[in-house]
Chains A and B, each alone.
Chain A
Amino acid sequence: MKLREIAHSRTGDKGNTSNISVIAYDAKHYQLLLEQVTSARVKAHFAGVVEGEVVRYELPNISALNFVMACALGGGVTRSLALDAHGKSLSSALLDLEIEAVPDNK
C-alpha cells in the first residue's frame, strides 16, 4: 500500500532546508512508520530533489516523524529557480512511498 493510506504529511521550509512531517492517522501504525520510513528511503525517494543529508526525528507522543532535508530547495526559497520554491508540494510526493503492510498491524 501507499504511505498515504496510513499517514498524512505537511512540508515546511527554512532557507534551503525542507522539513516533512509524516503523521500516522492511527497510533497503531507508528511502528510501521518507524520501521519503513527511514531517512535512507526518504533520501532515495527524493533523488534529484534533495542534495543534502536527511535527518529523521521521532515524536512518539503524536505518532509522527519529522524529516529534515538539507539542500532541498534549489538554493533556498528566496533565490530558487523552481516553480515551487518553498517545496510545499513535496509532502504529496512522499505519501506515494510504498509501504509493506503487516497483516496483524493493519
Chain B
Amino acid sequence: MRTIRIGSGAGYSGDRIEPAVELAERGEIQYLVFECLGERTVALAQQARMKNPEAGYDPLLEERMRAVLPVCAARGIRIVTNMGAANPVAAARKTAEIAKSLGLSALKIAAIVGDDVLDACKARDLPIMEFDGTIKQLGNRLLSANAYLGAEPMAEALGGGADVVITGRASDPALFLAPMIHAFGWAMDDWNLLGQGTVAGHLLECAGQITGGYFADPPYKNIPDLARLGFPIGEVGEDGSLVITKVAGSGGAVTEQTCKEQLLYEVHDPTRYLQPDVTADFSQVRIEQIGKDRVRISGGRGSRRTGTLKVSVGYLDSFIGEGQISYAGPGALARGRLALDIVRERLKLTGVAASELRFELIGVDSLHGAQVSAHANEPYEVRVRVAGRTENLREAVRIGNEVETLYTNGPAAGGGAFKSARDVVAVASVLLPRELAAPRVQFVGGELR
C-alpha cells in the first residue's frame, strides 16, 4: 500500500522555525505543511495590502522559506502553506525570488487565488452568524471577506508539479488533505476517506500541540524536553490509515493523551465537523498507542459536504484602551482593590465613554472572573488591569491614562505602569453559496527564471 509522510512545520504564524527544518532534514517526509493563518490575520493582512499592493502575506514567510527551501529542494519535499494570507500571488513571487537567490530557480511555485469573496459578499445581504446583523449593515467598517477554500485547488497545483503551494484563506485540515488527494487520487465524493483525511489534517494542523505542547501539567502530565519540541508527522496510507509520530530524538511525546486532546481541540459537535470538502465525523475515532511516539488513529468518517463555504468577515469593531500597574508585599491585594475603585470612579468623574469595562487583578481574578476565583489565597503581588471598549482612539487613550496616574495619585507603592490603546479589527462569519467562490491556481515560478 502506498503511504506518504506529511510533516507539520508550524501551528501558527509566529511558531518556532527550527522544528520544521528538523522535520525536513530528518523526518523522511514528502510534504511539509505550514499552517500560519489565524482567524483575524487575513483581515489585518488585507489592511496591509491596501497600503502596499505587494504586502499582505505572512511576515515570517521569508525567514521560513529561507530556512527550509534548500533542504526541501534537495530532498524533493513539497511545501503547502497558507502564508499567502491576503496576497498569495505576492507571497509566491517573493518565494520565487528567495528560491532564485538560493540558486533554486527551478522550483515551481503556485499561488491559490479566489478566497477573496468581498465583492460576492457585498452584493448579497448575508446574515452574520455571531450576532444580529448583516454584511450590508457593517457599511464602511467592512474590511475583508475570505472564504475557507477546500483542498481541490491545492491538490490541482500539486498535480501541476508545484514544489511550493501558497494559499490564502483555506480550511486548515485541507492543507493536509490536499497532498493525500494528490498522492492517492482520492475521489472528491469519497466522504469516508475525506473524513478520515480531515481527522489527520485536524490532528496535525497545530503542530506542537499534538507532540506535547499545550499539554504539560506537572506532576500529572509530564512531557520531556519541551524546549526542543519536535513537530508531528502523519504517516497516511492510501486507505486512510494514519499513524501520528515525530522525528526520533526530538523533544516532546506523541501519546494517546496528546492525540485525544488535539482531536477535540476547537471541535463542537464531533459528528459534524464542517469542512469545505466534507462533513467530517470524529465521533467513532479510535486512538491506539502502537509504539514509542507512535499512535494509530482510525475510524474517522464523513458525509456529503454542505452547499456553503464559511467566510471570515473582517471589520473595524471598536477601540480598546488598557492600563496596568502592580502592587506587592503586605496589603498588596487591598491596595490593588483600592486602585481599581479609584479608576472606576475616575472614569465616571471624567466622563470616559466606554461601552464595556473590565476591572481585575492579574494574579487574583483576571482569567476566570471573581466568582470562579473567589476561594484563592492572597498573593504576594497583584497587577491591576483595567480595559475598556470605546468608539474612538481618543477615549481609549483616557482609560490607560487613568491607570497610569495612579503612580502619583493612587495607593502606596504602585509600580510598573503600562498603557495601550488600539483599534480592533474583529472577525465574524457568514455562509456563502459555494458556487460563488471561484478558486484557481496561478503558477509564478516560471516568470522569474
What residues of chain A have their CB less than 8 Å away from a CB belonging to chain B?
A: 4, 8-10, 12-17, 19, 21, 23, 25, 45-49, 57, 59, 61-62, 64, 66, 68, 75-79, 81-84, 88-90, 92-93
User: What is the CA–CA distance of A23 and B282 in the complex, to the nearest angstrom?
Assistant: 15
B221 at the interface (CB under 8 A from A): yes
- Whether the Cβ atoms of A78 and B427 lie closer than 8 Å is yes
- Whether the Cβ atoms of B358 and A82 lie closer than 8 Å is yes
- Whether the Cβ atoms of A12 and B260 lie closer than 8 Å is no
- Whether the Cβ atoms of A62 and B260 lie closer than 8 Å is yes
Map CB proximity to A onto B358-379 as digits: 1 under 8 Å, 0 otherwise: 1010100011111110000000
Q: Say yes or no: A10-B368 contact (C-beta < 8 A), given A57-B269, A76-B426, A79-B424.
A: no
Q: Say yes or no: A76-B265 contact (C-beta < 8 A), given A48-B372, A49-B368.
A: no
Count chain B CB atoms within 10 A of each CB in A23, A84, A89 and give the residue with the most: A23
Count chain B CB atoms within 10 A of each CB in A66, A88, A90 and give the residue with the most: A66
- Whether the Cβ atoms of A76 and B427 lie closer than 8 Å is yes
B167 at the interface (CB under 8 A from A): no
Considering the complex, give the chain A residue whose CB is closest to the CB of B282: A59
Question: How many contacting A-B pairs (Cβ < 8 A)?
Answer: 131
Additional 12 contacts, C-beta under 8 A, given A64-B264, A66-B268: A12-B265, A14-B268, A15-B130, A48-B371, A49-B371, A59-B264, A61-B286, A66-B264, A68-B268, A78-B424, A81-B358, A81-B388
User: What is the CA–CA distance of A78 and B76 in the complex, to the nearest angstrom?
Assistant: 38
- Whether the Cβ atoms of A45 and B372 lie closer than 8 Å is yes
Shortest CB-to-CB span from B281 to chain A, Å, is 11
A-B contact pairs, 21 of them (CB 8 A): A4-B220, A10-B215, A15-B39, A15-B427, A19-B264, A19-B266, A19-B268, A23-B257, A48-B369, A49-B368, A49-B369, A57-B283, A61-B287, A62-B260, A62-B286, A66-B268, A78-B39, A81-B388, A84-B366, A89-B368, A92-B217
Count chain B CB atoms within 10 A of each CB in A68, A75, A76, A79 and give the residue with the most: A79
B88 at the interface (CB under 8 A from A): no
- Whether the Cβ atoms of A59 and B270 lie closer than 8 Å is yes
Q: Say yes or no: A48-B262 contact (C-beta < 8 A), given A16-B130, A25-B257, A76-B427.
A: no
- Whether the Cβ atoms of A76 and B283 lie closer than 8 Å is no
- Residues B266-280 near A (CB distance < 8 A): 266-271
**Looking at chain B, what size class is its interface with the partner chain?**
35 or more
- Whether the Cβ atoms of B214 and A10 lie closer than 8 Å is yes
Q: Which residues of chain B are within 8 angstroms of A77 by Cβ–Cβ distance?
A: 39-40
Considering the complex, give the chain B residue whose CB is closest to the CB of A83: B366
Which 10 A-B pairs give the minimum distances between C-beta atoms? Answer: A12-B266, A21-B264, A48-B371, A79-B426, A48-B369, A10-B261, A78-B426, A81-B387, A12-B265, A78-B40
Map CB proximity to A onto B233-261 as digits: 1 under 8 Å, 0 otherwise: 00000000000000000000000010011
Shortest CB-to-CB span from B384 to chain A, Å, is 12
User: What is the CA–CA distance of A32 and B253 in the complex, to the nearest angstrom?
Assistant: 28
User: What is the CA–CA distance of A12 and B261 in the complex, to the nearest angstrom?
Assistant: 10
Which of A15, A59, A92 is the one whose CB lies under 8 Å from B429? A15
Considering the complex, give the chain A residue whose CB is closest to the CB of B365: A48
Shortest CB-to-CB span from A49 to chain B, Å, is 5
- Whether the Cβ atoms of A47 and B40 lie closer than 8 Å is no
- Whether the Cβ atoms of A66 and B299 lie closer than 8 Å is no
B320 at the interface (CB under 8 A from A): yes
Considering the complex, give the chain B residue whose CB is closest to the CB of A66: B264
B419 at the interface (CB under 8 A from A): no
User: What is the CA–CA distance of A25 and B257 in the complex, to the nearest angstrom?
Assistant: 8
Which of B215, B257, B356, B370 is the one whose CB lies under 8 Å from A81? B356
Shortest CB-to-CB span from A68 to chain B, Å, is 5
- Whether the Cβ atoms of B220 and A8 lie closer than 8 Å is yes
Q: Which residues of chain B are within 8 angstroms of A66 by Cβ–Cβ distance?
A: 264, 267-268, 270
B229 at the interface (CB under 8 A from A): no
Shortest CB-to-CB span from A40 to chain B, Å, is 16
User: What is the CA–CA distance of A92 and B372 in the complex, to the nearest angstrom?
Assistant: 11
Q: Which residues of chain B are within 8 angstroms of A46 by Cβ–Cβ distance?
A: 368, 372
Count chain B CB atoms within 10 A of each CB in A9, A46, A83 and give the residue with the most: A83
Q: Which residues of chain B are within 8 angstroms of A15 by Cβ–Cβ distance?
A: 39, 129-130, 427-429
